[in-house]
Structure 1
């Protein structure tokens, strides 16, 4: 698997240092990981991630 190019979310940071990182993958999924558990990676399709974020925002 090719190396992913991780980018820290613009909403991450603060004194705790808890950060969310995202990266596009060659298989057209979006990968997510947290700074405190970098070996655990989630994969989502762009459509699936968009649907999840819309749902979370609507519950708000």
Structure 2
């Protein structure tokens, strides 16, 4: 994960460079995230936030805020 802060705003960028769906524990990101700001996927599907995790489709990049 890549994290960057601009003023009071922090974004987290996650990459899933595997051919499998990936689940990332939200607590492990180090900052609270509340929304998917943008994403790109090679195989279809959409990233999503659950109560405890960020679910990333295969071959995707996701920006969270």
Greater Rg over alpha carbons, structure: 1
More helix by proportion, 1 or 2? 1
TM-score in terms of structure 1 length:
0.30
TM-score in terms of structure 2 length:
0.29
Larger RCO: 1 or 2 (CA < 8 Å, sep 6+): 2
More strand by proportion, 1 or 2? 2
